[in-house]
Structure 1
């Protein structure tokens, strides 16, 4: 099985959870009801929103802070080293908290979400902030605020370097209600912006106030989210936050022209491709109706099980063996051709996620990827760089060579920390 596959990701998650139990000092202390806010008024879909109106309607209101980890510097270094990550940027221990906060659904109705706040032990009193957005996760307990595994490598890396870190779980993952609207970039951005707002409140209450400077990064699905979040911040979505640098890793920035074609030309491995496509189709069908009955898209017996498999309560270890080995075995003949040449509702769903590199950032941007990645081919990063260049922005692509998907982040993360240090030193 390919080293990039979600099954290997899940296997590593299980191993890392076992290894981490002795490191993460979880606590039963719950600081309940640390903030109250009025009910959230429904926002029209796509309506612009000022930071004032967001506050008025409760977006980002902090509801709860729960401590989840307290690690010394050596503990953090061991944790990162267990994944083969460089530890030369580890300068501090850290404390981590699960935040519960108000946000909105893709339809604009009120809901809640959770995320991880990591704070360094030491460093300046007022902290710059890293927004870290995570990659694809099927089970809600893999999310950063709950799972002590892959979702915490980036937050712990950045916090141990001396910055606060806001890592949203997204909607429907962690302790948030409902299902995860997978690859709905718009709602991932609203959840991420509202996580920043909740983080600002929590940091004040924990006596580590924020400077307002934001360094945005993310991996895989989170790389796409980081680009879109960077755009929102650069456009002034909240007056309390100023984007300073943008460094996404292995994002599927071009589903139409890079990621989907990769399912058919061999640049995306079958196991990952089937997993991602099934997750995408079932989630997107709830947002952009693609079919009335799963049998229109999926062959039996898969038509009868795919929706339940991606209910956020099944792990990759359970999902992948239940799916076939090839896309042809998964999809009906008609839909197989539709995926090859998207039209109609499917094309609209794809294009709703694409285009997040087609803007002009006013901050430095670096893209990280790998020619050895068969989950998210490097063509995504190259196409993103081309879109940015068309808007007058030079964004170099760092190619991590033969590294697989997860290994691409393990190599890129410390490089990003060092680059953020350089950017920060210029201000």
Structure 2
């Protein structure tokens, strides 16, 4: 009888543990351990890569995970995905670092789809080996949600995809008995800069229970959507026309515009092409080849002349709604941009910074760093080096 009772109690205790664990899982759907990377190997790669990372701070082995989690898109619950790099440590409490990637059009470029030996994956592992749980979301429209149109430069669904991955990873850490202090850092380049700032704004305005935002590091993003549009329209030649098409098609899909609006934004034959080229297969360069880099050839003259009037009023309103100028940061924000960037205009970042300061943001909270002579491509490396050094000093000053 005593043996049976003991077995029964053990079963009850096991069941209680299962129920308690299940109760913790609200966001996380699945987690797959892909690999474990050795800190020595990561440091060797980074030293050979030429990246100026603080190698003496890179001490933790790193587990590489793929996660699926619940998030919201247009009022419905969907499954999103991303990568997470978890440092291994005993009795440690790690902070979170989100790195939001730049603009991609092909699903093959999503973080969960790139090869394990890709340089990006190794850089993310390098960030984690400093003792940071590093999250890299696919974003809605890629990975596990590839059937959806990516909500490109649309504030709420982009921020939610980050917020909900943070919640899911917190649940994963609890399952794996990994400690965390709940502190969060946000980073990203190009579109990722916009995502970092949008997530910062979301957290300050709506809160995020169990987490504490410490700082964000947005770089080279288009934070003022009307400002981005004005820059596009002011160019005779714009070498990345797929950006203009991407924004228009993403807004059409998300807000439910009639297809006819696309024909009033783009001249034929490009209007019909825009409706079909963002299929998750075509890459950015392939889409550029299908469009035209002469702005007046690509864009309807009526839109160039009166972008806020008539049939364009609705998309203009949504540009304003998704611009990140209607708030004042109250947590540290470090803005970065190269002053030779002709892809995403440098002035968009500088004007955003000046707007924050003029609106009352504290100069000791919001800063702006210019990378002299850096364009959109060449600004990536100095950004990675600079923001990571600042972050490491904030996290664990010598």
TM above 0.5:
yes
Structure 2 distance, partners of 1:398, 1:271, is 25
Q: 1:153 and 1:401, CA in 2 relative to 1: closer, same or farther beyond 3 A?
A: farther
**Structure 1: which 5+ runs fail to align?**
1-34, 39-54
Question: SS where residue 414 of structure 1 aligns?
Answer: helix
1:151 Cα offset (Å): 5.3
Match of 2:327 in 1: 358
Measure how far apart 1:283 and its partner are: 0.9
SS of residue paired to 2:242? helix
State the distance in 1 between where 2:266 and 2:394 align. Answer: 48
Q: Distance in 2 between matches of 1:190 and 1:384?
A: 22
Question: Of the candidates 399, 408, 417, which is equivalent to residue 379 of structure 2?
Answer: 408
**Structure 1 residues 353 and 328: alpha-carbon distance in aligned structure 2, compared to 1, 3 A threshold:** same
Q: 2:21 touches 2:175 (CA, 8 Å); kept in 1?
A: no
In structure 2, the CA distance between the partners of 1:383 and 1:154, relative to structure 1 (3 Å rule), is farther
Q: Deviations over 1:304-361 (max 9, x none)?
A: 2222211222212321211112122222222333449895112112112103573231
1:299 aligns to what SS in structure 2? coil
Cα distance change on mapping 1:356 and 1:114 into 2, 3 Å = farther
Q: CA deviation at 1:208?
A: 1.9
How far residue 197 of structure 1 moved from its aligned partner, in angstroms, is 0.3
The alignment status of 1:111 with 2:81, answered yes or no, reads no
From the CA coordinates, give the structure whose radius of gyration is larger.
2
Distance in 1 (alpha carbons) for counterparts of 2:68 and 2:154: 21
**Aligned counterparts, 1:247-262, within 5 A:** 247-257=217-227, 259-262=228-231
**In the alignment, what sits opposite 2:291?**
323
Quick one: which of 101, 122, 132 aligns to 2:99?
132
1:169 and 2:138 correspond: yes
> Per the alignment, do residues 377 and 269 of structure 1 end up closer, same or farther by CA in structure 2, a change over 3 Å counting?
farther
Q: C-alpha separation between the residues in 1 aligned to 2:126 and 2:340?
A: 23
- Relative to the length of structure 2, the TM-score reads 0.83
Q: Which residue of 2 aligns with 1:204?
A: 174
Paired residues in the alignment total 369
Q: Give, in angstroms, the shift of residue 200 of structure 1.
A: 0.3
Deviation at 1:219, TM superposition (A): 1.3
- 1:412 Cα deviation after fit: 1.3
Question: Is the 2:97–2:134 Cα contact (8 Å) retained in structure 1?
Answer: yes
- Helix, strand or coil at the partner of 2:92: coil
Matched with 2:186 is 216
Q: Select which of 184, 204, 210 maps to 1:234.
A: 204
Aligned pairs for 1:5-24 within 5 A: none
Q: What are the within-5 Å matches in structure 2 for residues 225-304 of structure 1?
A: 225-235=195-205, 237-257=207-227, 259-266=228-235, 270-272=238-240, 274-293=241-260, 294-304=262-272
User: Who is 2:108 aligned against?
Assistant: 141
Match of 1:381 among 315, 326, 349: 349
Map of 2:127 onto structure 1: 158
8 Å contact kept, 1:218–1:249: yes
Work out whether residues 357 and 385 of structure 1, in 8 Å CA contact, stay in contact via their aligned partners in 2.
Answer: no
Summarize deviations over 1:57-88 as a string: whole Å, max 9, x none: x8x61111123343333543465567653233
Q: 1:195 aligns with which of 161, 165, 178?
A: 165
Of 145-154 and 64-73, more deviation after overlay is shown by 145-154
Change (3 A) 1:125 1:384: same
Distance of aligned partners of 1:283 and 1:163 in 2 relative to their CA distance in 1, 3 Å threshold? same
Cα distance between partner residues in 2 of 1:424 and 1:224: 23
* Bigger mean CA offset, 91-100 vs 368-377: 91-100
Q: What is the alpha-carbon distance in structure 2 between the residues aligned to residue 371 and residue 305 of structure 1?
A: 33
Q: Are the counterparts in 1 of residues 27 and 168 from structure 2 also a CA contact under 8 Å?
A: yes
1:370 to 2:338 alignment: yes
2:7 aligned partner: none
| Structure 1 residue 108 displacement after superposition | 1.3
Distance in 1 between residues matched to 2:396 and 2:301, nearest whole Å: 56
Deviations 1:70-115 (A, max 9, x none): 333354346556765323344444221111001110x211111001
Question: In the alignment, does 2:392 pair up with 1:421?
Answer: yes
Q: TM-score normalised to the size of structure 1?
A: 0.78
Q: Which of residues 305, 310, 313 is equivalent to 1:344?
A: 313
Q: Is the 8 A contact 1:282 1:307 kept in 2?
A: yes
